[in-house]
Amino acid sequence: MKIAIGSDHGGFELKECIKEFLQSEGIEYKDFGTHDTGSVDYPDFASKVASAVVSGECDRGILCCGTGIGISIAANKVPGIRAALCGDCYSAKMSRMHNDANILCMGGRVVGKGLGVEIVKVWLETEFEGGRHQRRLDKILDIERNHR
Ligand code: RB5
């Protein structure tokens, strides 16, 4: 599995921590920036990571900003993206089982590094359940189609 990862300055430190974890697990990733703590605009990184996921260049994405809110709102504007803002392991697990989330978003100013890595672990290892949940995802696709 190849992960697209990105953040703004508010999520930079958490992103670096997650990269260390991915590296230690031998999970391939591509870092779309930002590359330091200088102030940048989160939509730029949401757009890059979301594009890598919908194009198939990467299988899933991880995005961090200060709260995780702005970067998740921006990522969800890209058709085909289901970005889930998670601050706990239960939500991360359910975002995969029920929502087939293809991008995980977290807030670097909200979630500590230890919890952040635990959230990533459970999110990466949990599979989509399908069944009745697929019907609901199809309805989300309908919303996208009806608002082009
Ligand atoms: C940047 O200061 C901050 O607004 C951003 O990281 C994020 O929290 C936005 O939702």
**Centroid of ligand 1 to alpha carbon of 47 (angstroms):** 15
How far is it, in rounded angstroms, from Cα 72 to Cα 114?
A: 21
Res 61: pLDDT = 99
Whether residue 147 lies in the annotated active site: no
84-100 mean pLDDT:
98
How far is it, in rounded angstroms, from Cα 5 to Cα 141?
A: 24
- Which CATH fold would you assign to the domain 2-146? Ribose 5-phosphate Isomerase B; Chain: A, (3.40.1400)
pTM listed for this prediction: 0.98
pLDDT digits (tens, 9 = 90+) for 39-56: 999 999 999 999 999 999
Contact 101, 75 (CB under 8 A): no
Contact 100, 129 (CB under 8 A): no
DSSP 8-state secondary structure symbol assigned to residue 78: S
pLDDT band at 117 (very low <50, low <70, confident <90, very high): very high
**87: enclosing H helix or E strand:** none
Query: Hey, where are the domains in the chain?
Result: 2-146
pLDDT digits (tens, 9 = 90+) for 10-35: 999 999 999 999 999 999 999 999 99
99-111 mean pLDDT:
98
**Centroid of ligand 1 to alpha carbon of 70 (angstroms):** 6
Counting atoms of ligand 1 from 1, which one is nearest the CA of 107?
A: 8
Counting atoms of ligand 1 from 1, which one is nearest the CA of 70?
A: 10
Identify the active-site residue in 58, 65, 86, 105: 65
125-133 mean pLDDT:
97
Residue list, ligand 1 pocket, CB within 6 Å: 8, 10, 42, 65-67, 69-70
